[in-house]
A and B are shown apart, each in its own frame.
Chain A
């Protein structure tokens, strides 16, 4: 790699975010800030019932309501009536049957937001209420009502590895559960649709994947894709919540019907209904090992609740099942995974994507095994740690970096927090101290460990790519590099990484990242820890093509300095990056499903008030396999943020459902970690460059979220001696009431 000396802010440096200044000044425009002259406000009418038949809808009163310009029902969907990322089974607006509480049924556009809300309350839907299927096991019963024509199984797969009947000397067994977590990105869903003169529509939108939205929107509008143009607006976090379409098609329908710009902006409550959540899971596992703790056989049955529609459930259960043996060398296994349909809210992508739930179960099992064979939790893991060259249960050989041993021993060796007496410390540092509930009378400390892993990019044969355009020109201030891709900076800092790549490749200080839209080819999703590799890779390729042309013009072998005279006319290049092909799994779950992996290890230190069931996490330590840290500050930021979401799942975050209805759709009732809940996070970056990836860098967004819930609950078990098979752990479970 040739970095011209004197260029600051290339890869490997903790470069300041390119969008930092507008964000701290309040000038950065998010989707919810969009406006247009003459704009209408859209509102969505949602089903209050988790399962019902729609008998009739009366919109007369709504149409006469002040300020109303349109009321639309399923019959008004111009094209295809359903959409979806995988199977297109989700109605744009329900007609016949509603399958979850919160499902969109009608749309209103009015001059003022209050008028739209008013009119929405005047739409009368006559429902015949059906009994909801809300339990996963119940959904799988033969006599359960079929929620979809194919039945209630979204996807079932099994992975058979070695001899699944293999005998072992020691067996440990358990069933584990995780709750339904919400991504809760701070910016609620919003977008603005503007009708165009060509009969098409321009949509300004906060999303994770412009082209996947486009592919779902255009057929529903009955428009050719070139007449639906998506432009990225500011994204206030995503974490999977913006992977699926929410208000996109609705806003476009209203704009096309009224021929006025239409904005839809969800409030927090509607946001809880308007996006998919993390799948709740129930996982049974049985681990067999030798007396000295070497794994021989892993058996697992995994069940995840996909809710009412397919969304990304097939890929989530694919991940959970193929990762169910953990980052360990396991000679024999039988892993069976099922994602089911219920009348619960749809579940789909959230940071960690199936790997989180599996890790919670297999790491609890590893601790049980450690106890059964009398080994330290770290020792039993070191004994079985996966390494490069090992074969996974799918038969896939790990060819890239797999520094599991290193991560475990480094994580265990990170400095521990000092012991503290409950007497001479600030009350805020006592579990429950902030609310003045706990007084520090019955405190015990516990330490827990977890290791885990996650795939990078999409798996099982998905042909994944990203396209980038780079232009190098010169103006009064000197050379200027412009970059454009359709890749979304959801907050993780992609635009900054892209800037660093361009500086490194072209040796040009001034880099302008253009706003993404669908005029360029797809960059794929900002999810699955894939953008640094995919779009970083595409930008690198485009830069290399530009550089080759500079060298040709200059007749040199290094980039000339000054460069200016070689840039007239400007040089442009567009390139596509693809990762190596993966393959589908066969009937026994054998194949080559994943591109590459990122591993992580965490240690949690907790303090529990065993009388009150209150918890304070004292410290989190995370060692993560990052390949190469392109921007160390932002890598650590990802680890810290991912750890916070892991802490949330371990201790407090859960969408509570009663008969399929969300009971806590607000930040008052759905608890998120605050600055008082978050301990210091000691992050340790293990850099073993990944062959075949640009700069050897692995995606960094997810491993901490995968391992932290398991580590925290392990620490709670160590502190209390209780089973704690379910996350989030509630206070009454810590004192043994449940």
Chain B
């Protein structure tokens, strides 16, 4: 099968039952997407499939054939972190960090759709991402910070 991952076409030979998450992590070595539950409950494996936000653990690798996948590894522009990534570090929204790639992807997606979400909208949009460490307060701060910086840049 072949998939375009972060702008590059890649091929893999993988067993038919494998998930997109397994394809990314084990076949392509892109371990930024995490595997905390593999049941669609935690969002730690969030990626884009043709621009849509999905849990990679719930998508079959075969479903990504001939399609575009974007992972957390593509969010930074080389050495330059995105506004969302910067805000997560600055706001203290990272502890163990295992949930962080999933949150970075989900927040990037949210702010691309709605540059000025209110708090309730942010909570709703991120309700599929579990963080066990932070209690979410600083994640909310990070979203607010990133949103205001992105609006300033416009």
Residues of A within 8 A of B (CB): 14, 16-17, 19-21, 23-30, 32-33, 35, 113-114, 184-188, 234-239, 267-268, 426, 428-429, 434, 490-493, 633-634, 636-637, 640-645, 666-668, 672-676, 678, 680-681
How far is it, in angstroms, between the C-alpha of A118 and the C-alpha of B29 when the chains are bound?
A: 23
Is B96's CB under 8 angstroms from A24's CB?
no
List B residues 136-154 near A (Cβ within 8 Å). 136-140
The interface residues of chain A lying within 8 Å CB-to-CB of B31 are 26, 29-30, 32-33
The answer, yes or no, to whether B129 is at the interface (CB within 8 Å) is yes
Nearest chain-A residue to B82 (Cβ)? Answer: A24
Is B98's CB under 8 angstroms from A186's CB?
yes
* 29 intermolecular pairs with C-beta atoms under 8 Å apart: A16-B90, A17-B92, A20-B94, A23-B94, A24-B101, A25-B73, A25-B81, A26-B32, A26-B73, A32-B31, A32-B34, A33-B25, A186-B42, A186-B99, A186-B132, A237-B132, A238-B96, A268-B38, A428-B120, A491-B95, A493-B95, A641-B95, A641-B133, A644-B132, A672-B130, A674-B129, A676-B123, A678-B137, A681-B137
Is B35's CB under 8 angstroms from A637's CB?
no
How far is it, in angstroms, between the C-alpha of A239 and the C-alpha of B138 when the chains are bound?
A: 19
Q: What's the least CB distance linking A267 to chain B, in Å?
A: 6
Main secondary structure of the interface of B (DSSP, over half): loop
The answer, yes or no, to whether B8 is at the interface (CB within 8 Å) is no
Is A643's CB under 8 angstroms from B132's CB?
no
Q: What's the least CB distance linking A111 to chain B, in Å?
A: 13
How far is it, in angstroms, between the C-alpha of A673 and the C-alpha of B73 when the chains are bound?
A: 27
Contact with A along B12-53 (1 / 0, CB 8 A): 000100000000011001111111111101101000000000
Known A-B contacts: A32-B31, A640-B134. Give 11 more (CB < 8 A): A25-B76, A26-B104, A237-B95, A239-B132, A268-B37, A491-B96, A492-B95, A645-B132, A674-B136, A675-B123, A675-B127
List B residues 98-140 near A (Cβ within 8 Å). 98-101, 104, 120, 122-124, 126-140
Residues of B within 8 A of A (CB): 15, 25-26, 29-39, 41-42, 44, 71-73, 75-76, 81, 85, 88-90, 92, 94-101, 104, 120, 122-124, 126-140
The interface residues of chain A lying within 8 Å CB-to-CB of B36 are 186-188, 236, 268, 667
Q: What's the least CB distance linking B23 to chain A, in Å?
A: 13
Is A19's CB under 8 angstroms from B97's CB?
yes
Is A32's CB under 8 angstroms from B123's CB?
no
The interface residues of chain A lying within 8 Å CB-to-CB of B89 are 16-17, 20-21, 24
How far is it, in angstroms, between the C-alpha of A14 and the C-alpha of B122 when the chains are bound?
A: 25
The interface residues of chain B lying within 8 Å CB-to-CB of A235 are 96
Is B37's CB under 8 angstroms from A24's CB?
no
The interface residues of chain B lying within 8 Å CB-to-CB of A186 are 34, 36, 42, 44, 96, 98-99, 130-133
The interface residues of chain A lying within 8 Å CB-to-CB of B44 are 186
Is B130's CB under 8 angstroms from A187's CB?
no
- Find the residue from A492, A672, A681 having the highest chain B CB count within 10 A: A672
Known: A17-B89, A188-B36. A667 touches B101 (CB 8 A): no
Partner of B75, one of A25, A33, A267: A25
Q: What's the least CB distance linking B33 to chain A, in Å?
A: 7
Partner of B32, one of A19, A25, A428: A25
The interface residues of chain A lying within 8 Å CB-to-CB of B26 are 113
Q: What's the least CB distance linking A706 to chain B, in Å?
A: 15
How far is it, in angstroms, between the C-alpha of A30 and the C-alpha of B100 when the chains are bound?
A: 12
The interface residues of chain B lying within 8 Å CB-to-CB of A238 are 96
Is A268's CB under 8 angstroms from B39's CB?
yes
How far is it, in angstroms, between the C-alpha of A204 and the C-alpha of B99 when the chains are bound?
A: 21
Q: What's the least CB distance linking B70 to chain A, in Å?
A: 12
Known: A20-B94, A429-B120, A676-B127. A641 touches B42 (CB 8 A): no
